[in-house]
Amino acid sequence: MEYVKSKIRDVIDFPQKGIVFKDLTTAFKDSRALRTIGSELSQIYCDKGITKVVGIESRGFIGGSILASKLDAGFVPVRKPGKLPADTISASYDKEYGKDTIEIHRDAITQDDIVVIHDDVLATGGTMAAACELVKSLNPKKIYVNFIVELEFLNGRNALPVDVEVTSLIKY
């Protein structure tokens, strides 16, 4: 993972002054880094019976799709309001630099599913907490949460449900 970490770019004062944004697009464009991310993610979940991978808009779609493919699982997008075409449920949350809302299709997850919810970065945990709320409301058998990068100094894990196993590939 050191190679992947070396490919992550810091963007100062993005999306607002005082924030150092961990830009994973520089890792995603590198084939070795992208392969490593996919391999490491799939090793974590290969024996857990995952049936669905939920990816959070938009960078969570990248790792989430790779993970779903490697696990032979379905992929479910969590998107901003108005982007999904069928009946949805939504959750609103506070982010480190504002408020937001996300949605999931009401029929995306069943009671038979074992789910990994994936996003690229864990910061304050608001987005993932809202995604967990949405997925939990659909009553799957089990939920796991995964990130490529975790910003530990922001204590985002504290915002997540205690009954959900959380893993991160890289911690800052």
As a whole number, the mean pLDDT across the chain is 96
Neighbours of 137 (CB within 10 A): 13
Q: Is 57 a catalytic residue?
A: no
2, 32, 79, 96: the active-site residue? 96
- Mean pLDDT (whole number) for 132-136: 98
pLDDT digits (tens, 9 = 90+) for 43-98: 999 999 999 999 999 999 999 999 999 999 999 999 999 999 999 999 999 876 66
Q: Is 35 a catalytic residue?
A: no
59, 79, 103, 150: the active-site residue? 59
Residue reference for tokens 């975790």 = 150
Q: For the chain, which domains are there? A: 48-171 (3.40.50.2020)
Distance from C-alpha of 80 to C-alpha of 86, rounded to nearest angstrom = 13
Read off the pTM: 0.96
